[in-house]
Structure 1
Amino acid sequence: MDLPSDQEARRILEAALLCAHQPMSVRDMKQLFDGALSTDAIIALLGGLQESWQGRGVALVEVATGWRFQTCGDVQAHLDRLHPEKPPRYSRATMETLAIIAYKQPVTRGDIEDIRGVTVSSHIIKQLEDRGWIEVIGHREAPGRPALLATTRQFLDDLGLSSLAQLPTLEGLPLGQASLPGLDETLALDGRADEDLDASAQDEAPSPQDVAGLAPGATEEPPRAESAQIAP
């Protein structure tokens, strides 16, 4: 395949990204040119596209699974008027569980219960798994070999983030200085059971600030790693 000019390559990339239903990886973009363009060349073209779309209602952004065009926050309120119905939100119990997994991962269900101070409903875990936001990444080498839960790349995509390091930081002790069972912070729900607070899931993902607002403890660094047997 003949090497396209920068202008032509940028047009092809722009068209592919605008038509894509999911974020596109650099590997996928290279296939557009039959491998004639290198990774560095693709990245340079993406940078040019980002600049050319600055100040418009949509922007080219990088998320966990690739690149995509998405609407800018300052115009979203106007677009929402096309669909004024407000979908039901996730319960506070669900959001707290998601926040703990996001900021303390990998964690077991028991870790979450130690932090929240209440039993974690199986419905909440299934709800987050079905939404594609959490997954089992292995098992802790402890009695019963409890499953280790972590967030997915879909979770980052839905929040518009490319890595966990982009989650809002909180004031307090870094995660690496806290052990889950010994944490004093709890996120109990005024004595009410999870089942009493569960609501139907909304189609729209929470914002990073929503997740951070319900996270226990604090972090100035990405989530810590844990020794475990990773699931195949």
Structure 2
Amino acid sequence: MFDRELDHLPPEARWREWMHRVEATIFAAQEPVGREVLARIVGKSCSIDLLIDDIREELRGRPYDLVTVAGGWKHLTRPAYADAIRAAVGASERAVDLTQSEILVLMCIAYFQPITRSELSSFFGKEVSRDLIGALRGAKLIASGPRSPTPGAPYTYVTTREFLLEFGLDTLRDLPDFEALEDAGLLSKEKLLAGDIPSGLASGESDGEEEPESDVVEDSLS
């Protein structure tokens, strides 16, 4: 039987072994590792948060760190070494390659979810096509949310866990505010409200109400 408690070890050695177990598990995992997983390999009295703090302290000055992403912990290299990594192995392919229109719609869904396609179209002042919504769904960045209480009960859209992973967020509370996005030149609140956005939003079929969709993603966030 796997020994979680390690009662035979003195306290300092026990804590060190728990640190090694946690760091090794996170290092080996491809996805962020949640608290419930780590709880299987440490003692019941162990504070996982304090353990993570001690690991991160030991990683101070190293080119990588433990970060909280999508409700778990993951090893990530520090941004300061991005240029060196690109020079050595080339630019890594992003899981998702989005157009400017898709990014704008995705950001609106992230900030105002749950939101319908009609509400998105009204917000931008031009039709948001099913093709564009389909592209974001195909990338698993959004999913169907609850039905809207408006006439016809159209589906709303919400972001997913994959959205958090793609953008390195722990929860939706980590989304930057509009002012930060404007300062970075990534989003203009005035342009959004004025509908001053690329015409590509209206490409593809755009007539009629939202069609029912059955493939609701269970881990979507509202």
* TM-score of the alignment, normalized to the shorter chain, above 0.5: yes
Structure 1 residues 166-185: aligned runs within 5 Å: 166-171=174-179, 184-185=193-194
Partner of 1:32, secondary structure, is coil
Q: Which amino acid aligns with 1:95?
A: I
1:48 aligns with 2:54: yes
* 1:135-158 per-position Cα deviation (integer Å, ceiling 9, x unaligned): 112101121111111111221122
Are the aligned partners of 2:71 and 2:171 in contact in 1 as well (CA < 8 Å)?
A: no
1:134 aligns with 2:142: yes
The 3 A distance-change label for structure 1 pair 30 and 86 is closer
1:65 aligns with 2:71: yes
Q: Which amino acid aligns with 2:44?
A: L
Which residue in 1 is equivalent to 2:157? 149
User: Quick one: distance in 2 between partners of 1:102 and 1:91?
Assistant: 16
Match of 1:6 among 15, 33, 46: 15
How far 1:37 sits from its partner (Å)? Answer: 2.7
The 3 A distance-change label for structure 1 pair 192 and 29 is closer
Structure-1-length-normalised TM-score: 0.71
User: Quick one: distance in 2 between partners of 1:129 and 1:2?
Assistant: 41
User: Quick one: distance in 1 between partners of 2:193 and 2:162?
Assistant: 31
Which residue in 2 is equivalent to 1:101? 109
Structure with higher Rg: it is 2
How far 1:193 sits from its partner (Å)? Answer: 5.4
Q: Which amino acid aligns with 2:20?
A: R
Structure 2 unaligned segments of length 5 or more: list them: 7-13, 180-191, 205-215
* 1:70-115 per-position Cα deviation (integer Å, ceiling 9, x unaligned): 1111111221231248779421111111011011111100111011
Larger relative CO (CA 8 A, sep 6+): 1 or 2?
A: 1
Structure-2-length-normalised TM-score: 0.74
The 3 A distance-change label for structure 1 pair 162 and 85 is closer
Partner of 2:40, secondary structure, is helix
Are the aligned partners of 2:110 and 2:159 in contact in 1 as well (CA < 8 Å)?
A: yes
User: Quick one: distance in 1 between partners of 2:81 and 2:70?
Assistant: 23
Greater Cα shift, 83-92 or 41-50: 83-92
Superposition CA RMSD, Å: 2.7
User: Quick one: distance in 1 between partners of 2:92 and 2:33?
Assistant: 30
Match of 1:159 among 160, 164, 167: 167
Task: Give the total of aligned pairs.
Answer: 185
Which residue in 2 is equivalent to 1:27? 36
1:37 aligns with 2:39: no
User: Quick one: distance in 1 between partners of 2:93 and 2:196?
Assistant: 26
